[in-house]
Structure 1
């Protein structure tokens, strides 16, 4: 909204200054002419007619379409905020997935073992869990674990723990005799047996297969639902980005063909006025001409930023050269473009547009937030990838702190938009920065 107000004020000042100075100049020129009042009346009438039939309608139309663009950007910001919330929900939802409505069974004795791992007793519950219908199960638990392809280091560690008279507990992923996957929550505890005082090992546990499967099913169902919502939100974001580009193109055309042409015509008319000999009047006309030149330059700059003609006509490489020249000419920051591997290929229109917007955002951040006095844009490519680097010598920032606080304040929103645009064109975006050493943004884009 600040941009709309500033541009509105600029156009108003320009029109008012032109009208005032033009009338003063002509009035002064014909002041000593016999019918000067008649001439001034015609001039005023003509000026008012031009203002209300040409300049004012164009200004009103421009203000309306520019306000529409600002509103669409606000809408895009709200969409990205909703998308960020969905990503957060994806992580938080797993806390709810654990609440599966199953009543766990009580642990029972499953096996009795000797200290060497020989199986001396198998309970009915264990036979039920493992689908043992008759004799023929393993005689040694360690041989069973080896057959189940459990890790050798785990088996060795378990043997050493039990031999030292210590207990072990954990979950085991095993296969029953029917070939089905079984999860056992088991605890192995050395105990003294009978009057002999001989040490035996009791394996106590319960079947947790149903709990595991229920949690996995819930996780998959919830993940599918959330991912569907994320995909829908991403699709909406893509439509908004594409709509913004079309709106920018339309506004740029309106500015260039409408207001820009009218301002140029007013400038030519102003230059055609013959000033009086009054030094004051000469200075006023000279100042007005300078103001008009500044307005035309500003309109061209806004039009270029909205939709650079070099990007549409010639591609991303000439557009990068052009943006470096334009920004260097209009700001106190030197922007340099280096095409290190002579990349000249044309890319898909959407790819070029989004890549240009990423670089534009990076350059603007370097100027606005990092206070950099030099920014280097470089291209490097190989047969499979194009690598675009935007590096400034500004003051840098704490990227980890930005990630914690979120992406919707100051430059954080711009960084989020850059990442979204990079993902949209199947690219990756990496940010390397540190306080006092500048910022380096690396975009890696597949070419195939």
Structure 2
């Protein structure tokens, strides 16, 4: 009878929790729906407010435009233009009148409310005399123009329009300000309403946690304790009772099936609060290479033979046997192998003054090994990247030094010597001997042209003026022409899609240097006689392709030789193209030639 009464109480309790849970969900759903309805209503109202403010602002513009057109018409003498002005003023006046009446009286189609606040109603009442005066004066003015009569009165009508137009603008500004203030009040009210709904929703969630989830958790813990207690009693009856009824035998079979499933699928055991082992699962005992029939061992001694690791496990059980614990531990098995376990320790109450710990583990050794391997590979990749950057940095510094030495040598050996010769020639001119002076002056002119050419060549190598003046197309065309003249090789450039856009200066200089590097490599290493540079583009990609008929190379073999000059050249290309978010494709066949393609987003 007592058991039935307890079951009945449990059913009533769970039904009550279910009703409370459904009530909480329904409350949250209602609050969310109410919040959405209020938000949508306020958004619709705000859209109407913004439209009204916009139209009210246009009314000011229309009044100014009307006054302006009336002034213009007053001074127009040409009959054709006068008729056009009359039509334009009639259109403006009609639009101005209809809009004003819709704002004042309301219009459901346009979304203008018929009900207005007291302030706006008063403002429309105060603006009405000025509005009516402007409308009447404009109508009389146009009527006089059409009939060609009473034209002497038009000047007074124009003056009347201008006098009332200023007052109309002032009142209209007040109306727009009042509409804006009311719209702001609506937004503020909506914000407060949403805060109230949000606070109420949080309160419902808190109450749901306190009165639904927490009691449910308590019920589940008690259910687990009951199941463990039932298992213990069933095992005692199985070992100590010789005659078991058919019903009890079926119960024992079910418990054995459940126990078998746990033994062979879970790494679990039961431990007393003092650390002694009560029971260990078969799968767990196989993993630890422990004989489950030995009962004089503690849980820490079963896990590991290492004393230091046993002390750590005993300390965890001693400190956490009441509150429970979950974490990862590293142990050493009896073969000296390292094992990682994800261990969960749950305190279970058996009786009022008797409790034990249910420990469930997962073998995460392979995962840890994988994590360590990933960490090792990441460390190697970082180290390799740092070494590459060091090599790149040293090569950049070396190339800068070589370029500076080359420029200095060109200036010293070429331009410097020519300037020295120019100086000596100027000093040797004898103005008394006009014939020799004329010859020397001609020589000096030629020498000056050579100096200018040398300076232009040096500056072209540093930064071609075409790049900053005309863009990447002109600079690449100039580059191919100059290199073709200097090397004697057939270097051609084709702008296939007539690309003529200007790009960011940083992108243009990188594209130029990449193209220059590819052509120089084809000249220096490929022994090619023909080099073709092609430029094409789409809406989002600029493509540059450099083809040569040289000796080609094995791309994979060169990329592996990072310390070689050719390997570093390819690495520099990839680093530079990545700097401008582009991509490089290198295709080469030994003995046939090489194609390098740069794709840059534009």
- Establish whether TM, by shorter chain, passes 0.5: no
Higher strand share: 1
- Normalised by the length of structure 1, the TM-score is 0.44
TM-score when normalising by structure 2: 0.33
Give the greater-gyration-radius structure (CA).
2
- Which structure dedicates a bigger proportion of its chain to helix? 2
